[in-house]
Each structure stands twice: as structure tokens, then as C-alpha cells.
Structure 1
Amino acid sequence: MSKDGERPEAADERLARANKPAEDSVRMHAQYRGKIETVLKCPVRDMRDFSIWYSPGVAAPCMAIHDDPELVYDYTWKWNTVAVVSDGSRVLGLGDIGPKAGLPVMEGKSLLYKYLGGVDSVPIMLDTKDPDEIIRTVLLMQPTFGGINLEDLSQPKCFRILETLRRQAEIPVWHDDQQGTATVTLAGLMNALKLTGRSIGDARIAFIGSGAANVACARLIFGRGADPGRCFVVDSRGILGRHREDIERRRHEFVEKWSLCGLTNEEGREGGIPEALRGADAVISLAAPGPGTILPEWISAMAPDPIVFACANPTPEIWPWEAKDAGAAIVATGRSDFPNQVNNSLCFPGIFRGALDVRARTITDEMCFAAADALCGSVKADADHILPSMEDWEVFPRVAAAVGRKAVEQGVARRDLSSQELHDTAYRMIHRSRELTGMMMRAGFIGEEEGQDA
């Protein structure tokens, strides 16, 4: 028997199951040689159609757009297309693996946009890590796309890139590692707090990791009512606070981290992860992949019935069964093969669906709050279901409608659509994407058998 009372074979089986997605992924990526492709959406019956879709007929919509640039949304794919842009400098939990190695992730993002949001998407890997070049490149691409999804950019440059583009771009620019992760984390936390009888204003929360994702999580959670002074943020050198002279010396470089030093840790607590977790109601960890980053005894030292979000990818900081055995009431990870997946895939397809449908100029924190509320209300929460899953596809139209209406209310939308119009449009677009994929599988255009041409 193991020390947790289980047969060693049971623990081995759990680990084997947890490792299987990675083994399958290598094989399946080699089989399909990419996850997305370009297909036509207009008919081609004979040579006359070529003259409509290309020369000479195409000159007419070109000149119409020249006279009225807003018509680009009506005559081209811009209305429904997002670029997923990355330099590969911080991919998942893998670090700086470069633009080529990061491409499978961005292709996967495009797959999720299409299947879950009905949004067309193009992965674009940039062979530069210079933030000014990235900013300039994104601004230069604006005529082609209705929105930009920044992905897997290292900090601190990711903060400046996002904020600069949000100010300067005429289309919504979103950093999913920041805004997407923060939105779905907030939604999961709100339901977890409710289930354990806590209020967000009184909760003592430990944020483990101070990268782009957790900095954004803290900002959104504080914006929704959590008291920063009662909360702790931990980086690789310990708990943040006014005592952190190492950060103060580089405060112009790490602006967000130095701001958190002043906002959080009112009591001046020092130490590392175990000290931050002591007495905490909840831990939100987006730190080094584990297991072993967070130890069971540290969970046991938290407040009774603690909430544990161990969301590092590809492996959580502590295995869910270890956290449960240590006393956790609710455990969430970033993985789909465990209960309570806290993953930005739950929100970004719906958020961009709504933003694109009203032709939003930006995506605000209030739009993120609206998305979080829609996610919260889309599940009858219990300890193993604090959020809907990606299989609950009708969640995405609800998120789209909430986000689109909030954009209209805030005056950042070019089109005014009702909640029902937004929901119906999103439902139709997402249903079409799912049906199209199913039809291609049934017809054999997407092969399911090993060795079948993709």
C-alpha cells in the first residue's frame, strides 16, 4: 500500500493516463501534417465564376471598399477572421522554444477558434523577439484581420505589446495568456467561492507565479472585488511586497510586478510558496509545471476546505488526487483529462465571436467580466463542475451575446445588435462549423484511420 492508502498500481495507472495525451499527440500530428487548411466558401461551377471571384469582376468590390473602407467587412473575410500571433518566446510551460516549435500550438488555437467559435483564424509565427517589431507587424496586418490574438509572448514585453496595441489598433487586440486565462479563472473562482461559502471580498488568495497569466488574473480578480491587501503573489524569489528591493531596482522594467508589490501583502509576509499558502482560502497557481511545485503539506496548512487551482501546462503543480488527499475541497487544473479544467479555450472563442459580430474596436475588462458571468451561469456548479466544459458548445453563443452587448453599452462597437441577434448569429456560426467538420469526417475528407491521407 502507498502512504495515501492506494495500491501502487493505481497511482501508476493515473500517471500513465495523464501522460497518454502527449504520446498520442506526436503520432496524430505526424499523421495529419497540420490541423487546419484553407477551403473555399463560394461556388466554382465554371469559368464564369472565376470572372466573378477574380478578374475582371473583383474590381467592383475593390473600388467600393476604396470609396467606403467599412465595406471591407461586408465584402471580405475580415469580418470573421483573427490572426493568432506569437514569437514562440513562452510557449505553454515549455519556455522559449522559438517560432517554428510554437507553430503547433498556434494551429491548435486556430482549430479551437473555428470549431468552438465559428471564427476563421490564421496562425502567424514571427521570427523576431523585438517588441517594437512585433507591435509594428501587428499594426501593419490590420487591413486583413478583424482581430488579433497575441499568444505565448514572454514577459515583461507582453504587457507593453498588449497595452500599446490596445491604444493604437483600430481592431480588438487580445492577449489570451493574460485576458483569456484571467477571465476563465475569475469565472471558476466565483463558483468555487460560492460552493465553499466564501465571498470574494473576504477571500485570502495566494497567486503562485507572477507571469503574464497570473498578473492578469490578479488584476481581473481585484477588479471584481477581491481585497489586494489580503492576497499574496509569489515569484521565483518569494512573496512580493514592499520589501522586494530586487524588483524595486528594476521597477521601470517590471512595472506590473512592482505595482503588485505595493498593492498586495498588506501584512508584509516574507518567504515562499508555503508561507503564502498558510491560512489562504484559495491558491491560483500558474507557475513551474509539476508535480512537486506545490507539496501536499502546504495545502494542509491552508484554511479549511481550500480551493486549489493548479493550472500549469502541461503538468499541474500538484496532482489533483494529492491536493484532495491534503484537504482541498475543490481542485482545478488546466487539463481536459481532469475535472474542473480552467482553460482559456472556454472563453476566447465566444468572446471573439461577440466582438467580431459587433465589430468592436477593443476588448475591455468589463467585456471580460460579462464573459465570466456568462460562464458562471452556464453550469449547475458542484465540486467537480465549477465550469462548463468545451463539449458544452451552447455556452459559447451565450458568452458571445454577453460580450457583444457589453461592447455596445460601452460604446466600443461599430454595430448595435440585440442580445438575441448576437446569440442567434453565434449559434448559427458555431453550429455550421461543427456540422462542416462532421460532414467532412463522414465523407472521408478528414481521415480517421491511421495512415489515411489527411
Structure 2
Amino acid sequence: MGGMSMDQDNEVFELHKKHTGVLSIEPEMQVSNKKELGEAYTPGVAGIAKDIEAHAELKDELTLSGKLVAVVTDGSAVLGLGNIGPAGGLPIVEGKSLLYKELSGVDALPMAVDQVETDEFVRTIKNISTSFAGIHLEDIAAPRCFEIEDKLSASLDIPVYHDDQEGTAIVVLAGLLNAAKVVGKDVKDLKIVMNGLGASGVATAKLLYDFGIHNLTLVDIHGVIRSDSSEYNSYQKELAQKIGLNVKGQSLDDVIDGQDVFVGLSDANVLSGEQVKRMADDPIIFALANPLPEIDPKVAADAGAKVIATGSSQYPNQVNNILAFPGLFRGLLKSGIKKVDFSLEIIVANALAGMITKPTAEKIIPGVFDSGVADTVTSAIINSTK
């Protein structure tokens, strides 16, 4: 087995090797005699199969397809690792599938799909969708992830959710709702600069704008995003046109003055303490790049940042999609809701923020393992239908 990394020697490697991954399939009923065999398989399932033939919707009541989520990746945009390919992406979606089961009881199946062109990818998922109650997309590069999600959502009658988009957007909004309270500012009046407009950045900016936060300056690797720039994809340009700010300057450094909030979904060490000092009073810093944030939290604090969040468990205020997706998909399955739209994302964000009754600079969002997180999200979605 050539080319193995040195990680094969560490405890994590050995743990995954021992179990051949982190998931297995467990039976819901016993098969230890002929009667049970006839109930679980032949001849009993023949009648089930004929009923489903006549009424296809019965499959969701009588087979695993009514409760199974596909967690699908092509490994083209894995956080902190980049394009590591479909096989490389499997440990990520397998881990997500385990979290679904552990945190919300949702059955999920990790799946890797080759990096084929967009329409073929969509056809592949559509062609196997009969087996599933929902599709969770993961680690698919922008801009094609937008098109894949749009086309699947339009063609399937089951929920389609891209965690890098919707999950990130929900948790960022939840954190900002409470961060605004801590600094005594109206959340909708916040001036926000967003650095990094890939899948998560675009989705987050869209949600913030739909929520009513309209003073958004968007910055990516080439600088401030403008609707007439050829350096950006159509989704980024459409977003810039929708927001419509006439921003002077081209770089992050040009636009940082007077900003209330920095939201980074980009790369390590792109924001300096000097830049934080030029922001508005009591600045809010969401430095969410992993494994290293856009600015070291201590540097940000020394420069006057009032509230600091990161994507890391090493610091307070970890903005992590785990807060959203397990309870969210359980809520979708229980409620029968087929689409994840902005209104639903806002409901979930408000529910997460509402778990912190007295926000402080050190606590603006629930912890990943705080009790009741998944239940709160699920209940919010179910209650939205009443």
C-alpha cells in the first residue's frame, strides 16, 4: 500500500482502521427462524413490493427510504484541504453521517461521486433519489455547487441541503443576532465586511441580506466584488448587484474602516490587529477559517475586538455547522417540509440564538455538545408548519 501518510501510526488512524470506518448498518428486526425470514424477506416482502408498485409513496412508510439521508460529496472543496477527490472526501461525509445518527437519530449514508460535469452529477443523484428521504451535499466546489443544488431542488420532491451553504449561513446569523446584543447595536444596522465568497460566503451573504442586513461589503481573493467584474462568477456578481453598495476601494484594507463586523470565510491570517483598530467601536470578529483563523483571537482582542468567534473548538464561540444540520434534517423529515428556504433558515437561526438567554462576549452561541441543540432546531422547524 504505497503512498500512505504518516497518520497511519496515530490513534485516530488506528481507530478508523479497527472499525473500517465509523459506521455500520444495524437491523431493525431479528431473523432467526423461518417465520421471521418470511416477514423480513420472502415471501412477505412480495406483498409490500406490489403495494409500493401501485402506490409509490408507500415506500416512505414501508422501507428505509422514508428515513435515509444521502450525504454526498465529490471531494472538490474540503475545508482546509481543498480538492482531495471523491475518495478523500469519504471520511468527511462518513463523519457527518455518524453525527446525524448520534446527535439526532437520523440515518445517513455517506456517498462519493466522481467529479463529473454538473448535469451528469445531477442526473446521478436524481437517478438514485428513490432510495432516500433527503440529499445532504458536502464539500463541492463553487460555483458548480450552486447549480447542482438549484437543479436538484427543482427536480426532486425531497429536501436538498448543502451544508457548506445553508448550514454555515444559519449558524453565522445566529451568532450575529447575539453578538449585536452584546455590543448594543441593532443587528440590521450592522456594517459588515465579508471576506471569502465561495459557497459558504455567498450563501451567508444571501441570508444576511434576506434577513434585513443590507450594509454588506463583499471581498474575495481578487478584492471587492463588483457586479461588472469579469474575475467573479455569475453567482457572486448577481449578489453584488442585488446588494448594490457603491464601495470605494478594492482591497480588504481599503474597506475595513468603520466596519462593525468582519466575517471571514476565507484563509488564515488575512486580517491584522491594525485593521481591527480601524473598525467601528466594539468590533465583532467572526474569523471562521479552519484550521487557522483569519486573525489570531488574542491579536483581535488586543486590538479592541469586543466579540470574537472562530470555527475552532479551541476558543469560545465556535461557529460550527454541527449546531444546525442534525436537528434541521430531523425537522425536515418529521414535518414533511421539502425545501430549505431563507425563511426556514431564519427560523433555525433565531431558535439557536434564543438558546442563549443572556449573551456575553464569551457566549453568543450554544456549544456543540450543549444539551437540547438538535431538539431546539427540530422543534423550531416542526412549529413553523403550525
User: How has the CA–CA distance of structure 1 residues 319 and 25 changed in structure 2, closer, same or farther, with 3 Å as cutoff?
Assistant: farther
User: How has the CA–CA distance of structure 1 residues 234 and 144 changed in structure 2, closer, same or farther, with 3 Å as cutoff?
Assistant: same
Report matched runs for 1:131-150 at 5 Å.
131-150=118-137
3-state SS, counterpart of residue 347 of structure 2: helix
Alpha-carbon distance in 1 for matches of 2:286, 2:296? 11
Identify which of 232, 248, 257 aligns with 2:217: 232
2:282 pairs with 1:305 = yes
Which 5+ residue runs of structure 1 have no aligned equivalent? 1-22, 410-454
3-state SS, counterpart of residue 203 of structure 2: helix
- Indicate conservation of the 8 Å contact 2:71/2:136, yes or no: yes
Alpha-carbon distance in 2 for matches of 1:24, 1:267? 52
2:338 pairs with 1:361 = yes
2:356 pairs with 1:379 = yes
Identify which of 159, 162, 167 aligns with 2:146: 159
Per-residue CA shift, 1:359-386, capped at 9, x if unaligned?
A: 2222222111111111011123211111
- Residue number in structure 1 paired with 2:381: 403
2:198 pairs with 1:221 = no
Per-residue CA shift, 1:115-140, capped at 9, x if unaligned?
A: 11110000100012311111111111
Aligned AA for 1:231?
L
- Indicate conservation of the 8 Å contact 2:247/2:255, yes or no: no
- Residue number in structure 2 paired with 1:335: 312
- Indicate conservation of the 8 Å contact 1:368/1:403, yes or no: no
3-state SS, counterpart of residue 82 of structure 1: strand
2:59 pairs with 1:82 = no
Task: Out of 351-360 and 32-41, give the one that drifted further.
Answer: 32-41
Identify which of 237, 254, 260 aligns with 1:281: 260
- Indicate conservation of the 8 Å contact 1:36/1:111, yes or no: yes
- Indicate conservation of the 8 Å contact 2:206/2:239, yes or no: no
Alpha-carbon distance in 2 for matches of 1:367, 1:216? 14
2:18 pairs with 1:34 = no
- Residue number in structure 2 paired with 1:451: none
Aligned AA for 1:245?
S
Alpha-carbon distance in 2 for matches of 1:270, 1:31? 54
- Residue number in structure 1 paired with 2:326: 349
3-state SS, counterpart of residue 245 of structure 1: coil
2:296 pairs with 1:319 = yes
Offset at 1:42?
Answer: 1.3
Aligned AA for 2:194?
F
Aligned AA for 2:259?
A
Offset at 1:94?
Answer: 1.4
- Indicate conservation of the 8 Å contact 1:172/1:363, yes or no: yes
User: How has the CA–CA distance of structure 1 residues 323 and 26 changed in structure 2, closer, same or farther, with 3 Å as cutoff?
Assistant: farther
- Indicate conservation of the 8 Å contact 1:334/1:342, yes or no: yes
Offset at 1:220?
Answer: 0.4
Relative to the length of structure 1, the TM-score reads: 0.80
- Indicate conservation of the 8 Å contact 1:187/1:373, yes or no: yes
Offset at 1:114?
Answer: 0.8
Aligned AA for 1:71?
L
Q: CA RMSD in A?
A: 1.8
- Indicate conservation of the 8 Å contact 2:229/2:237, yes or no: no
Offset at 1:335?
Answer: 1.6
- Residue number in structure 2 paired with 1:428: none
User: How has the CA–CA distance of structure 1 residues 79 and 337 changed in structure 2, closer, same or farther, with 3 Å as cutoff?
Assistant: farther
3-state SS, counterpart of residue 110 of structure 2: strand
Alpha-carbon distance in 1 for matches of 2:32, 2:11? 40
2:234 pairs with 1:255 = yes
Alpha-carbon distance in 2 for matches of 1:378, 1:245? 41
Which 5+ residue runs of structure 2 have no aligned equivalent? 1-9
3-state SS, counterpart of residue 58 of structure 1: helix
Aligned AA for 1:303?
A
- Indicate conservation of the 8 Å contact 1:78/1:146, yes or no: yes
Alpha-carbon distance in 2 for matches of 1:304, 1:29? 47
Alpha-carbon distance in 2 for matches of 1:188, 1:322? 21
Identify which of 218, 226, 230 aligns with 1:246: 230
Aligned AA for 2:356?
V
Alpha-carbon distance in 1 for matches of 2:169, 2:187? 15
User: How has the CA–CA distance of structure 1 residues 93 and 299 changed in structure 2, closer, same or farther, with 3 Å as cutoff?
Assistant: same
Task: Out of 207-216 and 197-206, give the one that drifted further.
Answer: 197-206
Offset at 1:31?
Answer: 4.5
Report matched runs for 1:111-150 at 5 Å.
111-150=98-137
Alpha-carbon distance in 1 for matches of 2:14, 2:299? 30
- Indicate conservation of the 8 Å contact 2:76/2:115, yes or no: no
- Indicate conservation of the 8 Å contact 1:87/1:127, yes or no: yes
Matched positions, count: 377
2:160 pairs with 1:173 = yes
Alpha-carbon distance in 2 for matches of 1:87, 1:364? 24
- Residue number in structure 2 paired with 1:272: 251
Per-residue CA shift, 1:389-422, capped at 9, x if unaligned?
A: 121231211211211232x36xxxxxxxxxxxxx
Per-residue CA shift, 1:128-159, capped at 9, x if unaligned?
A: 23111111111112111100001111111111
Identify which of 49, 54, 58 aligns with 1:62: 49
User: How has the CA–CA distance of structure 1 residues 32 and 296 changed in structure 2, closer, same or farther, with 3 Å as cutoff?
Assistant: farther
Aligned AA for 2:230?
D
Alpha-carbon distance in 2 for matches of 1:148, 1:43? 29
Identity %: 38
Aligned AA for 1:386?
I
Alpha-carbon distance in 1 for matches of 2:94, 2:11? 17
- Residue number in structure 2 paired with 1:423: none
- Indicate conservation of the 8 Å contact 1:240/1:265, yes or no: no
Alpha-carbon distance in 1 for matches of 2:371, 2:157? 30
User: How has the CA–CA distance of structure 1 residues 136 and 103 changed in structure 2, closer, same or farther, with 3 Å as cutoff?
Assistant: same
